[in-house]
Each structure stands twice: as C-alpha cells, then as structure tokens.
Structure 1
Amino acid sequence: MELGTALAVVAFADQCLKYGNKFVKRCQSYLHAEEEAVELLLAIESNWVKMEAQIVILRRIAGSLNKKLQDMQSQVLSQLEGKLKTASLIIEQMLSEKREYGKAKDDKRNHNDWDIATVMKGLGDMRASKKARYVFKKSALYQIVDEIEKWQARFDPTWILIMQMSVGDIDEGLHEQRQKVERQQIPIILAAKGIRDAARAAQDERVKDRGLIWIDGLDLKPSTIPHSSVQFSTLQDTNEMVVIDSMISNPAANAKQTLKEVRNLARILAEVDPSTFGLLKCRGVIKVVNSRESPLSGPSPLDFKFVFNIPLQLSNPQSLRNVLLSGTSYPLNERLNLAKRLANSILFVHTVQFVHKNIRPETIIVFQNEHSDIGAPFLVGFEQFRVEDGSTYRAGDDIWEHNLYRHPSRQGTHPEVDYQMQHDIYSLGVVLLEIGLWTSFVLYGEDEGTSSPVQNDILGSVDLARPRNPRGSASRNKLELEGLAIRELPSRLGKRYTDVVLLCLRCLDSGSGANHDGQDFDVGAADWMDEDGVTIGVSYIENVLEKIQGIIV
C-alpha cells in the first residue's frame, strides 16, 4: 500500500482508532486511583474523545483529498499510531505487573478484580526495585500523554485546513457531531462547522445578517494600548473587556465591496475558538460615518470598528512591541510557544481565504494568563485585510517601521505587485526573527509619546531611509535580515528555528535558498503556488508549522 493514497489514510486512521480505544480502555482502572492518576485519566479521555471524532471525519473524506493532503495525513496519522502503540504497551506492562503483585499477595483473589488503584495504594509494601520500575513506567506514561498532546497541536491546523474544502462528506460528519448533546460536543468541531457555514454564507448573497454582525449602542470608552494599532474598553453595562480594531476605508475602494468583505470577515471571526486559533472572537462591527471627506453626492463613506471579546481568564493587554521593548527576560520555551501560536494564527487567516497585510509586533496583542509568564498572543490589526482573491489597489506607505516587515515587492506608497498570502508569511518571518533575538527592531526615546522611532543597532547595515533605488535597497535589507538570522539565531534558539525563519523570509524567492549550514533546500516561489487555497496551506504546514511545532527546548 503506497503512502499517500486514500487507502493509506483510511488504514492509518483505523489503526489509530484501534490503538487509541484500546489505550483508553486500559486506563479506565485509574478512575478509582489517587488524585494524580485521576487527573491523568481525565486528560487521556478528553484528548482521545477529540482525536477520535476528528479522525472519524478524516477517514470518511480520505478519498476526496488531493494527493498532497493524503500524503501529509498518512504521515501524521502514522506518527500517532506509533505513539498509541507505545502507550498501549506501557499500560499493558503496568497492568501485568499489578496482577503479578496481586497474585503474590493473595493467590485466592481473582486477577480480574485487581486494578491499578490497588497497586498504587500498596506501593509502600513493594521492594525498592519493583517500586522504581513502577514509578519509571508511570513517568513514561505521562511523557506519552504529553507527546500525544503535542501531536494534537500539530494535527489541528491541518485538520482545520481540510475542513474548509468543498467536500460534501465533511458537512455530514460535522453535522453529526453538532447533533450530540452539549456535554459531548467538541469545541474545535463546532468551530470548524461554524467557520465553514460562515464561509459558505459569504459566498451566498441570499444569506442575511440577521442582526448578528452590525451592532450599535455599545458604551465604549476606548483606552490606548501602547505601541499597538488597537484599543481596549470596558463595557459599562456588563463590565466586560473588549478590543476595538478600527478599519479606515480606502477612498479608492468600492464601498459595497468593502462592506461585503467586512461582513464576511466578521462572520468568520465570530466563530473562532481563541485558544485554538490565536484570534479573538468577533462580537460585531460598528459602522462609523467617515467625516474626513464630504462626498459630492450620495451617502458618506463608512469606516468600521471591529469589536472583539476578551476571554474571561485573560487580562492586562499589551502589544508584542511593548513586551519586546520592556527588556524582560523569559524562558526559551515560553518564547518558542509564543512563536508557535503566532504561526498557527497565520495559517487560520489564510485557510479562510483572507490576507492580513499588516503583521508586525504592533498588531499582536499579548494577554496575561495563568499558564505562562509572557502570556497568550493574539493576532489583531485587521485594518488592511482583504479577501485573498479580492480587489487590490496596491496602496502602501513609506513608514520605515512598516516597510521593515514588508517583502521588497510590497514596500512604498505604490507596491509593484499584488498582495498574496506569501507576503504575510514573509512578515511572520521578520517577527519570528525578532522573537528569536528577543529584542525590538524599533526603539523609542524616554518620552515614547512624542519621540520618533529609530531602528535598533542590531539591524546593522539595514537601510530603511528613502533611497534612490527603493527596490534595490529593500532587497539588500532582506539579505541583511537573512544574514542576521544566520549569524545570531542558531546560538539562541537553535538551528531548526533558524531554518523556519529563513524559510519564511525566502518564501517568495524564485530559486532555491540555503540554510545556515550552507546546505541547499528547494523552497522557492514555485513550492508555494496556490491551488484553491490548499497547496499553499500544505506548503506552509510542511515548511513552517511542522518544523516549528517539532522544536522542543
């Protein structure tokens, strides 16, 4: 059976379902064990319920996937199969040793009546060597569970990408999950269905807004977030915190088309699961009459304010720029997790066929939470977004701290090419470089409110002033950023992280590049070509997400 065929996907899915269910059943004996073991079992069961539902849907549609997606899913599922086999073996050994111990303790007792709880309570009676072996296997089980959770984090983005494809069986599978009682419903599947329905509604003019998108009457009292493109406010009537993301309409744009694209983006963002996608859930959009220009005839043009809910467990929003400027040190694993979450956010935006066009530390908000010192990052700043295949006006600006995050072909007031998804990936590469070095490329004086931004000396010969040859200078700056990554990143976040940054920075290069060791890798423009939004998504997962998610420090 060839890897990459629909049959291979089905076969691996069947094996995963077999070993996963076997593993969970073997763990049932933990239910009456000590508190630590109960928590472990709950984590095992919760993860498996989610994975099982996703794999069942994937198995059903395997024959409808293109070969590249089949190859990817075969590889991903084969990895899970190996982990589940190992987990099943460990729990079988634990059960076997428990039964042997029980038999030696009381030959009259029926073996099937024993459970791991009994053994755990009797650990004090074990010989030191036997106890050490048991503790070792228990630790190994925890490690397996941790690896399965990491596998899940790598699998979810691919699964979400597939769930947006035009395959009829997907609707049936998602609908079946939606019909389950609330306590059995799985958030990521509900989110996938909601996003799929919203994307479909965006293509169907007969679907009305039903009052869910356009809102008014909110008592907003906006407060600035330092070095951020968004604001936050506390709603007076409910005491809820929200983020306000303003979009100023392009005067050259078609007003009806802009209104439609704002509505469609809001519909999709209203369905996101913040913890999975790294995006805030949209509460609605406020229309604002544009008073800057008085039209000669017809209604005044509209600007828009996207209002986003802030999850209850999050607080103290600050921009990633502010975090970098603070100079606070954080553990490497926290910085790496920050980078991983941002990489996931980019994939989701592209999966639903939008381009962000404005990725930089000012459009990334970090909230304080109880799980990490840095906090949880969320991508905001949708003021320049558009549909991936929608109208483009090639409008830009000459702000150097914006150009720093733009590909050479997209700099200046009149960029030379239309915006495409790879331009977002390039911007992500610059941000990942900044996170890897953990320093802000843009600096401010002591009076940040009035001082002009200046570039960090770490950028070396990067020249962001207005040159006589803008494109030539921008291309040299790109090479300088690549050189900075090659020189500085390996000793700070490792070789694999360095390669991810270079892959992002070179995603629009026409030829093959070279990694930091001088070894060639063929990642050029041809490898990222779009095909109904799938090929570029798969390339991004293979070249960026898979590599960065696989880094462990």
Structure 2
Amino acid sequence: MSVELGLAVVATADLCLRWGEKLIDLYRTVKGAHHEVEDILLRLESIWKKTSVQLRFMRGLSAKLEVDHARIQQQLLDKLAGTLTAATVKLESVIKTGPGGHGTGVKAVKYAFLKDSIRRTVDELRDWQSEYDPTWFLVVLIHDKLTLDAVPEQPQTSQEAGSNPVRVMSRLHGIVHGTTDNSIHINLDSKDFDISNAAALNYSTIKLLSRGSGSSTKTFLIDTLSCSNYVDASKAKRDAEDLARRLKVIDPETFGLLRCQGLVKSRVPGTRELSAIHFVFRMPSPSPTTLREELLRPAPPPSLSRILHLAQCLAKSVSFIHVCDFVHKNIRPETIITFPPDDTSPSSSSSHSSSSSSSSYGPAYLLGFDGFRDVNYQTLKAGDAAPERNLYRHPSRQGVSVQAAHAMPHDIYALGVCLLEIGLWTSFAAGPALGRWVSESWGQKVKEYLVALARERLPGRMGDRYTTVVLHCLTCLDADNTIFDGETMRDEDGVVVGVRFIEKVQLALGEISL
C-alpha cells in the first residue's frame, strides 16, 4: 500500500483519540452532578473504552494494511472524527468554564439540551461501532497473532470482559488459526439438556428448550446439525466443535450472532455412532420469532426504519460468519430469528435520528447451521429439490446435482434474496408466487425474475441506495458485474470477498437514512 495512505490512517486515528478523550473529559464534568444522565454517561464511557482500544491497535497496524483495507479504515475514521468533533463543540456550548478553561458544570437552562446531546452521541457512536467492528476484526484476524499480544490489556469489570475487542480477537484468532488448545468447554451433558423436550419454533427447524422452573427457568435455542449431511461423521463433529468454540467467545451485540452455550451430541441407539449434533444458544430476551413468521403475518408492514435495521443485522451476521472462516449455506427467513426490543437499554427511551438504531428495534440473528462448513474445506456438491431452499440459492447451487461448491459469494446471493423479500415485506416462499416459479422453471430464470423485481418494485419502497445494495448481492457472481467484479468474487481468498462485502453491502446499508 502507499505510505501516504498509511500515514493518513494514523493521523486520523490520532485525531479521533484526541477528540474522544476531550469529549469524555467534558462529560466527566457533569458526571455525578446529574444522576439522571449517570447511566447514559457510563454507557458512553464503555463504548469509548472499546473504541479507543481499537483505534490504538489499528494505528499500530496501519503500515501493514492493504490498499482496500486502508481506504475503508480512512473512510470510517473520517466519519468518527466528524461525530466526535460535532459532539464536543455542542457540549462546550452548555458547559460553564472556570479558570484555565476547565469545565465547572452545566448551564441550568441548557440541561435538557445536554441530556438529548448525550443520548444522541451514544446512539451515533454505537451505530458507528457497528459499522467499524467487521472491518476491524477482518483486518486483525488475517495478521499475525504477535500484533495482538503486543497490545496491553486494560483493567476491566467482569461485565466488560466479553466485549473487550483485543481479548475476544486474541481468543478467536487462536481458534481460527489452530494456535490455541481445546480448553474452551463446549460439550454439554444430554441429561442436562434433554433435546427430546424441545418445542418447535414456528416455520423453522430451530427449537426452544427450557430448563428449571418458576423464576429460575432458562430457555435456549436448539439448532440441529444432522450428521447424515456429512460423508464422515468425524468431520461433522470437528466442524461443529470449531464453530461452537468461536461462537462461545464472541460478543453477540458486536458480531450479530448468538453466543453458543455448547453442544449436545445424539447417537444412534445402541451404538457410539453420531446421528446429530445440537448447538445450544443463549437467548438475549424471550419471545423469539422467525422472520418467515413475521413476513406471513396479516398485520401491517413495519416501518421502513425497522426494515433497514433488520437488513443491517443480517449483513452483520453474514459478515462475521465469514470472518470466523465459515460459510453458512442456509440463509433464508426460516433461519433468521428476531427478538423484541430490550426495554432496559440505557437509551431505549431516547430520541433517534432518521437512521435505525439498535436500541429502537429488537435484534435479529442468523441461525440454521445445519449445512455450514469450514471455508477451507469442501463438501460434496449435493443439493435437493426443495423449492423453499432453492429460492435462496444461486443458479449454480440449485437442484439435486449442483454445479459449484458453496463459497462466500453464494451466501451473499442468498442475503440479497432475503433483503429483497424484507424490503418488499412479502413472503416469497409461500402462496401462489412460489408455486408459479416452481412450475415454470428454476435456475437462471428465477434469478433474472428476482433482479427484475428488485429494479422495478424496490426503489419505490426502500429507495435507490437500498435497491443498489440488493442488486449488488444478487449479481455478485455475474461475470459482467463491474462493482463486485464477478471474477474476483470467485477467488478463494475470503479476505477479498470480505472486504468487498463490507464496503458494498454493510457500509452502504449503514449510510442509508430514511
């Protein structure tokens, strides 16, 4: 990469650190004096602590960045610098200053403005960090672990331990690159987690399992991997254990993926032969719903902001599945789980900008790991004739005998179909539409129909920018796609695919305002 671009990343990171520390110092002026904003300030400090660690780390890594990585870093750091500068200037206007220019308190008439300013800053920093995390983790994961070890860990509370980016990345890096031992406990006793008692979730193979009783009851999501999908059951076991370890060390809010409690293994009666492996996931809140069930409800469609929020959640989930070196192979509304908003969020009652915010709407997570695989290994080119699955598969992956092995771009195509579906807020895999497509043809004609549907109907519903993102996904494997570059997307280098996806899909969705 060019030296100038690397130096620009360093300079902008330094600028962000200076403005961020100044902003936190100003907020500390009123901390303790106004108990109503105490919780919001604690949230702000927590966000900034994580951000500052990431900035210092990226600052030291800037000389090693590839051009595309550095360009995205510069774009996001410029955005952060603007947010921090504007927030600091606003706060200075309501802070009383004493000798030497130090803050001494808040002007009484400006207190309401202060509360609104802090909440807005928290929302903007949270949204920015949601955009930044995938680029940071992707860049760090591909570099030597020595760079991780060189960053000193700061003291932290037990609540912060799971979200410390360097600690999480260090553990994840070791798991992905095989430099850590298998000390992360993932095997659960089937007596403690009796899968036979699990209840089905509507429109999904995912199930709910409750343990305990009364106020101590805990409910988990169960996602089952059938070993019949693998020629070698030992390979299924190894893949499942690798994925479970990675999903056990992550922070769900950061990765857009649920934290895995562990695995329960079922065996063929009377033998030691594995028949199925069950992922046990912790639930962030009660009342999970499949996206398919939401799409089929006769209720009025949700707001455009919530639809955009869902799209951003899904893009984040797909990005981090790939960061973890796996391909999903089963992205569709039946494997997407949504939750209601968390009313206990520090800023759940705050006013928000026109863009969607994670505290305004409940999260969505990607499950359905019944066909996933490690990106570095190939499985049989086996498919099926199920229309509800083939609808979300690229033409080269449809039918019983598929043409191509599943790769990251195929996940991106499936995401595009889902983004089109939620953008129009209609269920493709139900009713006469699916039957018509099945009876007429599959493969390339279905893809062409979906592309035409996006071009004709999506702009009026979700706008041109959202439509462009969907079209990028649906055409990402086309040889004549000059935006995504179909030939490059066929490259086995997951880093190239990951960078293009972050830039053309994830960041593009984050920049949409409604």
Q: TM-score range by the shorter chain?
A: 0.7 to 0.9
Distance 1:276 1:154 in 2: 10
Q: Write the mapping of 1:84-483 to structure 2, written as runs, cut at 5 A.
A: 84-95=84-95, 98-99=96-97, 115-117=104-106, 119-120=107-108, 123=109, 143-173=120-150, 176-177=152-153, 180=156, 182=158, 185=161, 187-189=163-165, 190-201=167-178, 207-208=181-182, 211-213=185-187, 215-220=189-194, 221-236=197-212, 239-250=217-228, 253-290=231-268, 300-311=273-284, 314-328=285-299, 329-371=301-343, 375-443=362-430, 454-456=431-433, 463-465=437-439, 467=441, 473-483=442-452
Gaps of 5+ in 1: 100-108, 124-130, 444-453, 468-472, 513-520
Distance 2:260 2:417 in 1: 27
Residues 542, 42 of structure 1: CA spacing in aligned structure 2 closer, same or farther, 3 A cutoff? same
Contact 2:477 2:486 in 1 (8 A): yes
Kindly state the Cα deviation for residue 197 of structure 1 after the two structures are TM-superposed: 2.8
Kindly state the Cα deviation for residue 26 of structure 1 after the two structures are TM-superposed: 2.2
Kindly state the Cα deviation for residue 408 of structure 1 after the two structures are TM-superposed: 0.5
Q: Structure 2: which amino acid aligns with 1:320?
A: L
Kindly state the Cα deviation for residue 112 of structure 1 after the two structures are TM-superposed: 6.2
Distance 2:183 2:99 in 1: 64
Distance 1:423 1:340 in 2: 18
Distance 2:429 2:484 in 1: 29
Kindly state the Cα deviation for residue 84 of structure 1 after the two structures are TM-superposed: 1.9
Over aligned residues, Cα RMSD in angstroms? 2.9
Residues 210, 148 of structure 1: CA spacing in aligned structure 2 closer, same or farther, 3 A cutoff? closer
TM-score (norm 1): 0.82
Find the residue that maps to 2:406 and give its secondary structure: coil
Q: Structure 2: which amino acid aligns with 1:535?
A: V
Distance 1:241 1:137 in 2: 40
Find the residue that maps to 1:441 and give its secondary structure: coil
Q: Write the mapping of 1:447-526 to structure 2, written as runs, cut at 5 A.
A: 454-456=431-433, 463-465=437-439, 467=441, 473-512=442-481, 522-526=483-487
Contact 2:229 2:371 in 1 (8 A): no
Higher relative contact order (CA 8 A, sep 6+): 2
Determine the structure 2 residue equivalent to 1:27.
27
Kindly state the Cα deviation for residue 140 of structure 1 after the two structures are TM-superposed: 5.8
Q: Structure 1: which amino acid aligns with 2:86?
A: T
Q: Structure 2: which amino acid aligns with 1:307?
A: V
Contact 1:511 1:523 in 2 (8 A): no
The answer to whether residue 37 in structure 2 is matched with residue 48 in structure 1 is: no
Kindly state the Cα deviation for residue 168 of structure 1 after the two structures are TM-superposed: 3.2
Q: Per-residue CA shift, 1:305-331, capped at 9, x if unaligned?
A: 1111223xx111221111111133322
Residues 265, 167 of structure 1: CA spacing in aligned structure 2 closer, same or farther, 3 A cutoff? same
Residues 56, 550 of structure 1: CA spacing in aligned structure 2 closer, same or farther, 3 A cutoff? same
Residues 269, 40 of structure 1: CA spacing in aligned structure 2 closer, same or farther, 3 A cutoff? closer
Distance 1:39 1:406 in 2: 45
Residues 114, 171 of structure 1: CA spacing in aligned structure 2 closer, same or farther, 3 A cutoff? closer
Kindly state the Cα deviation for residue 24 of structure 1 after the two structures are TM-superposed: 1.5
Kindly state the Cα deviation for residue 387 of structure 1 after the two structures are TM-superposed: 0.6
Distance 2:466 2:236 in 1: 38
Q: Structure 2: which amino acid aligns with 1:356?
A: H
Distance 1:3 1:142 in 2: 38
Kindly state the Cα deviation for residue 384 of structure 1 after the two structures are TM-superposed: 0.3
Paired positions, count: 493
Residues 251, 31 of structure 1: CA spacing in aligned structure 2 closer, same or farther, 3 A cutoff? closer
Distance 2:288 2:412 in 1: 25
Determine the structure 1 residue equivalent to 2:351.
none
Q: Per-residue CA shift, 1:320-347, capped at 9, x if unaligned?
A: 1111111333222112111111110000
Kindly state the Cα deviation for residue 483 of structure 1 after the two structures are TM-superposed: 1.1
Kindly state the Cα deviation for residue 463 of structure 1 after the two structures are TM-superposed: 2.0
Q: Structure 1: which amino acid aligns with 2:478?
A: D
Which structure has the greater CA radius of gyration?
1
Contact 2:193 2:264 in 1 (8 A): no
Residues 272, 366 of structure 1: CA spacing in aligned structure 2 closer, same or farther, 3 A cutoff? same
Kindly state the Cα deviation for residue 239 of structure 1 after the two structures are TM-superposed: 2.1
Q: Structure 1: which amino acid aligns with 2:438?
A: L
TM-score (norm 2): 0.87
Find the residue that maps to 1:465 and give its secondary structure: helix
Distance 1:389 1:40 in 2: 43
Kindly state the Cα deviation for residue 61 of structure 1 after the two structures are TM-superposed: 1.8
Distance 1:19 1:3 in 2: 25
Residues 219, 18 of structure 1: CA spacing in aligned structure 2 closer, same or farther, 3 A cutoff? closer
Contact 1:408 1:475 in 2 (8 A): yes
The answer to whether residue 505 in structure 2 is matched with residue 528 in structure 1 is: no
Kindly state the Cα deviation for residue 402 of structure 1 after the two structures are TM-superposed: 0.9
Q: Per-residue CA shift, 1:371-410, capped at 9, x if unaligned?
A: 5786321111101000112121011100111111110000
Q: Write the mapping of 1:56-95 to structure 2, written as runs, cut at 5 A.
A: 56-95=56-95
Distance 1:304 1:324 in 2: 29
Residues 537, 232 of structure 1: CA spacing in aligned structure 2 closer, same or farther, 3 A cutoff? same
Kindly state the Cα deviation for residue 28 of structure 1 after the two structures are TM-superposed: 2.0
Q: Structure 2: which amino acid aligns with 1:424?
A: D
Kindly state the Cα deviation for residue 7 of structure 1 after the two structures are TM-superposed: 2.0
Residues 346, 88 of structure 1: CA spacing in aligned structure 2 closer, same or farther, 3 A cutoff? same
Q: Structure 2: which amino acid aligns with 1:248?
A: S
Distance 1:111 1:344 in 2: 45
